[in-house]
């Protein structure tokens, strides 16, 4: 008796199959943040009381703020070098090896902008968490990582505590590990593992130093690891489709025809989405705070910016990967 065909998977099953990695990583990230939150004040205060002032200052400073070299400078120089090479890779007279690396360079730049600048600074401005030194020295109220903090746009420019930008930046060079783990030509698993371990150790050192100096709660820094991996993985495999670009290169000995600087253009329109999201939350918080109700006008402004930015991204993105279907 012939076997009856299996029923097609339900929409829920299809969704799980497609997004299970992201869902599991999101769950693990939230659990890790929840665990860290239990010890936020205790661990951060202990690090502050047992601090090394020299270590804290060295890890926090940077050449790019007019200071001496610091712990985040190698990562910043890595990003700047990647940006320069990315621009160079679009030149018609660029070296063939550099042109071949263009998808990887675009991935590094996009992840830096989307994760290190977009995600991190978006949450800083939306959540508005007070830094430890403000809580301890000036009696600002403490808030958990998932709560709205005391900072708000009505006070002017502020620098929220959650999440840590310094820690996110020093994790950027770890993107090379993803390339060395997955690419058919540049696959170097052992190097990828050792490189990732080194980057994580540097990020943990940065987290400790930022807590020692009273600039971040421990969850601000150690809690950023999961979201950074999530953003990088999604950009690499799903949004920028780096493996598909590399497969095209392997078959045709050239990269697919795509608009010049298309990754930066997407990031540019993404800036309006992020700005709109921030404005939208500011507008809604004005209702909660009841002190500056006129700022409610920011909510519709934010909605317009988000909608316009998404439409521009969709318009540019819609035809980018038509070559995959030929």
pLDDT tens-digit series, residues 177-208: 999 999 989 999 999 999 999 999 999 999 99
Please, which pLDDT band fits residue 73 given cuts at 50, 70 and 90? Answer: very high
For the residues 70-74, what does the mean pLDDT come to?
92
Tens-digit pLDDT profile for residues 231-273: 999 999 999 999 999 999 999 989 999 999 999 999 999 999 9
Q: What is the pLDDT of residue 260?
A: 94
Q: What is the pLDDT of residue 13?
A: 67
Structure tokens at 138: 């000036």
Alpha helices in 50-101 (DSSP H): 53-60, 73-89, 96-100
Structure tokens at 68: 């001496």
Q: What is the pLDDT of residue 309?
A: 96
Please, which pLDDT band fits residue 324 given cuts at 50, 70 and 90? Answer: confident
Q: What is the share, in percent, of the chain residues with pLDDT greater than 70?
A: 95
Q: What is the pLDDT of residue 293?
A: 86
223 phi and psi, to 5 degrees? -80, -5
pLDDT mean across residues, the chain: 91
**Phi/psi zone of residue 66: left (φ > 0), alpha (ψ -120 to 50 degrees), beta?**
left
* CA dist., res. 195 & res. 180, Å (int): 10
For the residues 122-147, what does the mean pLDDT come to?
94
**Rounded to 5°, angle at Cα 292 from 288 and 298:** 80
CA dihedral in degrees (239, 114, 219, 181; nearest 10)? 50
Structure tokens at 41: 């004040």
* CA dist., res. 21 & res. 174, Å (int): 19
Please, which pLDDT band fits residue 2 given cuts at 50, 70 and 90? Answer: low
Tens-digit pLDDT profile for residues 16-33: 777 888 999 999 999 999
Q: What is the pLDDT of residue 161?
A: 94
- Name the least confident of 85-89, 95-99, 113-117, 221-225: 113-117
Domain locations along the chain = 21-256, 258-326
* CA dist., res. 115 & res. 164, Å (int): 11
Measured in whole angstroms, how far is the alpha carbon of residue 235 from the centre of its chain? 10
Rg of the Cα trace of the chain? 22
* CA dist., res. 169 & res. 82, Å (int): 14
Alpha helices in 213-297 (DSSP H): 218-222, 225-234, 242-252, 262-289
Task: Give the right CATH number for 21-256 from 3.10.620, 1.10.3470, 1.10.10, 1.20.144.
Answer: 1.20.144
Q: What is the pLDDT of residue 95?
A: 92
Can you tell me which residue has the tokens 């819609």?
Answer: 318
Is the pLDDT at 6 greater than 60, yes or no? no
Tens-digit pLDDT profile for residues 60-69: 998 888 778 8
**Rounded to 5°, angle at Cα 154 from 115 and 272:** 35
* CA dist., res. 194 & res. 196, Å (int): 5
Q: What is the pLDDT of residue 64?
A: 84
């Amino acid at each position: 008796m012939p076997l009856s065909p299996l029923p097609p998977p339900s929409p829920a099953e299809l969704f799980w199959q497609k997004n299970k990695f992201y869902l599991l990583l999101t769950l693990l990230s939230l659990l890790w943040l929840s665990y860290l939150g239990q010890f936020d004040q205790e661990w951060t205060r202990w690090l502050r009381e047992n601090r090394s002032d020299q270590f804290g200052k060295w890890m926090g400073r940077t050449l790019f703020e007019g200071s001496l070299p610091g712990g985040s400078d190698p990562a910043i120089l890595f990003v700047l070098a990647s940006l320069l090479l990315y621009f160079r890779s679009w030149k018609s007279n660029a070296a063939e090896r550099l042109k071949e690396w263009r998808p990887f360079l675009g991935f590094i730049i996009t992840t830096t902008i989307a994760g290190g600048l977009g995600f991190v600074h978006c949450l800083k401005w939306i959540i508005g968490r007070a830094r430890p030194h403000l809580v301890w020295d000036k009696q600002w109220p403490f808030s958990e990582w998932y709560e709205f903090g005391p900072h708000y746009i009505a006070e002017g420019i502020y620098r929220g505590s959650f999440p840590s930008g310094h820690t996110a930046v020093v994790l950027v060079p770890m993107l090379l590990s993803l390339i060395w783990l997955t690419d058919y030509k540049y696959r170097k698993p052992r190097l990828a593992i050792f490189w990732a371990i080194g980057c994580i150790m540097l990020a943990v050192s940065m987290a400790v130093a930022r807590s020692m100096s009273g600039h971040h709660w421990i969850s601000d820094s150690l809690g950023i690891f999961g979201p950074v991996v999530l953003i990088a993985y999604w950009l690499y495999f799903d949004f920028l489709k780096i493996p598909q670009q590399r497969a095209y290169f392997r078959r045709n000995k050239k990269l697919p025809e795509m608009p010049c600087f298309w990754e930066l253009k997407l990031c540019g329109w993404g800036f309006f989405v992020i700005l709109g999201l921030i404005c939208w939350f500011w507008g809604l918080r004005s209702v909660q705070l009841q002190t500056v109700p006129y700022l409610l006008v920011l909510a519709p402004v934010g909605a317009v910016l988000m909608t316009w930015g998404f439409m521009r991204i969709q318009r540019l993105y819609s035809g980018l990967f038509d070559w995959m279907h030929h």
